[in-house]
C-alpha cells in the first residue's frame, strides 16, 4: 500500500468497545475492541499523508455463529459497512469509527 500510495485498512470493531458502553460484561472483548479503535486512530494518523485510509467499522449484531440466530442483522447487512469503508474515495474519512457509513462515538 505504501509503495503504491493507495490503500484501505478496515478494522472490524464493535460498539461494545465504545467508552460509554464499557461495563463488566464480556470485559476482554470490550477492552480488545476499545484497543482496536485506538490502534485505528493511531495508524490513521501515521498513514494519513501516504494515501492509505484507516477506519474501524461496526457491522452490528449479525446473525452468525457469534451473534446467534436472534441477531437483528443479516451477514449481508453487516458486510455493507465493511464494503463502504473499502470503497471510500481518496478524500474520504480516516481514523474514524463507523456503522452504515455514519460515524459512531468512541
> Could you give the CA distance from residue 44 to residue 78 in angstroms, rounded to a whole number?
23
Which of 29, 72, 74, 103 is catalytic? The answer is 29
Residue 29 annotated to the active site: yes
Q: What is the DSSP string of 6-29?
A: -EEEEEE--GGGSGGG--SSSHHH
Report the catalytic residues: 29
Amino acid at each position: 500500500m505504501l509503495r503504491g500510495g493507495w490503500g484501505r485498512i478496515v478494522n472490524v470493531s464493535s460498539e461494545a468497545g465504545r467508552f460509554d458502553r464499557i461495563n463488566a460484561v464480556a470485559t476482554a472483548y470490550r477492552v480488545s475492541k476499545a484497543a482496536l479503535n485506538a490502534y485505528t486512530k493511531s495508524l490513521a494518523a501515521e498513514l494519513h499523508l501516504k494515501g492509505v485510509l484507516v477506519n474501524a467499522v461496526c457491522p452490528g449484531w449479525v446473525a452468525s455463529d457469534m451473534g446467534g440466530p436472534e441477531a437483528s442483522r443479516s451477514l449481508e447487512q453487516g458486510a455493507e459497512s465493511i464494503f463502504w469503508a473499502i470503497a471510500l474515495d481518496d478524500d474520504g474519512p480516516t481514523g474514524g469509527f463507523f456503522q452504515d457509513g455514519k460515524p459512531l462515538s468512541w
